[in-house]
């Protein structure tokens, strides 16, 4: 039996009623183009009942796992499609989109049977954005923000070449994997101007900081950037550290050292020192306010002295 063109993989855990819209959006696509596998982490709500109700229209596996990227890696191993697509619980494929993507795959050399591993990506509809997110990417743009995995179709050979998702990045392993893809000249990256899915947003990767990823972002980009681009990336890392600290997350030592080496802002230097002293974000703001008031007082005294 020939493998399907596309494997749609949905990781889920206690997704409740929202899994219904996701499943319906996949099952409405043209039959024969895809296989559909749900990797469930051992849900205890109504998720499994809904999956069972679909009968043979989809396959599912339910067992404890180590998180979303462990589930996605499991899905890669358990499917056979030539291209792999990951759709989160709560996200929805747009009508007819797999047929449109299949047409784009047929435009590739040898109709997608090319020996050059290929990554096809388009756009998603994202709440809060006035237009589809987020167009064509280059390496520098990818270091500032990620391509949603709901917009990407990976040829299976991409994973055979690069390996699977690195589960040490608990919430942003797909971003790290995309950086690896763009850093490999032997992987073809092709943008297709299609809206692929409605992205629910609000998931772990969008709302939770990933300290391991933030700590290694500059290492992942080594050799890509000129001086100005590296400075811009440090500013982005500066912002990420602020979010980590505000959320009460641990800031890895390597991340702090990287910022201090790259002439970060005075406020971030204060933040790093406060975090190393174990101060809360609220206490940091008090220290910062005191520093700003002291600075203004010194400037005022200098000005009065000159007069």
Number of domains in the chain: 2
Domain's final residue, options 157, 185, 206: 206
Say yes or no: 215 and 201 in one domain. no
Domain housing 280? 209-306
pLDDT at 59 over 80: yes
Lowest mean pLDDT among 119-128, 217-226, 278-287: 217-226
In terms of Cβ atoms closer than 10 Å to its own Cβ (0-12, 13-18, 19+), residue 7 is buried
**206: pLDDT confidence band, cut at 50, 70 and 90?**
low
Say yes or no: 149 and 179 in one domain. yes
Mean pLDDT of 71-75: 98
The answer to whether position 1 is within a domain reads no
Task: Name 89's bridge partners.
Answer: 91
**153: pLDDT confidence band, cut at 50, 70 and 90?**
very high
The answer to whether position 180 is within a domain reads yes
Say yes or no: 19 and 153 in one domain. yes
User: Which pLDDT value is given to residue 270?
Assistant: 73
User: Which pLDDT value is given to residue 106?
Assistant: 92
Mean pLDDT of 114-122: 89
- Of the chain, the percentage scoring pLDDT greater than 70 comes to 70
Mean pLDDT of the chain: 83
Mean pLDDT of 266-282: 70
Say yes or no: 33 and 80 in one domain. yes
Mean pLDDT of 150-172: 95
Strand order of the sheet with strand 152-155?
Answer: 59-62, 34-40, 6-12, 83-86, 152-155, 118-125, 188-198, 92-93
Residue 92, C-beta contacts closer than 8 angstroms, at least 6 positions apart: 21, 22, 24, 25, 197, 198, 200
pLDDT at 26 over 90: yes
Say yes or no: 159 and 225 in one domain. no
Say yes or no: 154 and 287 in one domain. no
pLDDT at 40 over 70: yes
User: Which pLDDT value is given to residue 128?
Assistant: 77
User: Which pLDDT value is given to residue 130?
Assistant: 85
Closest to 11 (Cα-Cα) out of 53, 55, 74: 74
Mean pLDDT of 266-275: 70
pLDDT at 96 over 70: yes
C-alpha–C-alpha distance, residues 13 and 63, integer Å: 10
pTM: 0.77
**286: pLDDT confidence band, cut at 50, 70 and 90?**
confident
pLDDT tens figures, 225-270? 566 656 666 666 666 666 666 666 666 665 666 666 655 666 677 7
Say yes or no: 202 and 247 in one domain. no
User: Which pLDDT value is given to residue 150?
Assistant: 97
The answer to whether position 111 is within a domain reads yes
Say yes or no: 138 and 259 in one domain. no
Say yes or no: 168 and 93 in one domain. yes
Say yes or no: 202 and 218 in one domain. no
Say yes or no: 130 and 162 in one domain. yes
Its sign, for the CA torsion 155, 158, 159, 164, is negative
């Amino acid at each position: 039996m020939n493998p399907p063109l596309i494997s749609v993989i949905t990781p889920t855990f206690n997704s409740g009623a929202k899994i219904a819209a996701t499943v319906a959006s996949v099952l409405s696509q043209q039959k024969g183009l895809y296989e559909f596998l749900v990797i469930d982490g051992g849900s205890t709500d109504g998720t499994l009942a809904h999956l069972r109700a679909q009968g043979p229209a989809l396959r599912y596996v339910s067992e404890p796992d180590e998180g979303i990227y462990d589930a996605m890696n499991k899905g890669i191993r358990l499917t056979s499609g030539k291209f792999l697509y990951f759709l989160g619980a709560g996200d929805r494929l747009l009508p007819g989109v797999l047929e449109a993507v299949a047409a784009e795959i047929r435009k590739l050399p040898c109709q997608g049977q090319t020996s050059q591993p290929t990554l096809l990506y388009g756009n998603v509809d994202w709440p809060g954005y006035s237009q589809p997110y987020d167009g064509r990417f280059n390496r520098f743009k990818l270091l500032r923000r990620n391509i949603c995995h709901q917009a990407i179709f990976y040829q299976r050979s991409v994973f055979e070449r690069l390996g699977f998702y690195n589960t040490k990045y608990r919430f942003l392993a797909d971003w790290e994997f995309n950086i690896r893809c763009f850093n490999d000249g032997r992987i073809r990256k092709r943008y297709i101007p299609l809206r692929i899915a409605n992205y629910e947003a609000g998931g772990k990767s969008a709302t939770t900081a990933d300290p391991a990823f933030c700590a290694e972002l500059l290492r992942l980009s080594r050799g890509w950037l000129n001086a100005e681009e590296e400075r811009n990336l440090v500013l982005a890392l500066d912002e990420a550290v602020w979010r980590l600290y505000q959320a009460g997350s641990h800031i890895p030592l390597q991340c702090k050292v990287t910022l201090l080496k790259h002439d970060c802002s005075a406020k971030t230097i204060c933040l790093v020192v406060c975090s190393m002293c174990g101060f809360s974000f609220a206490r940091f703001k008090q220290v910062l306010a005191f520093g700003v008031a002291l600075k203004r007082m010194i400037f005022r005294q200098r000005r009065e002295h000159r007069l």
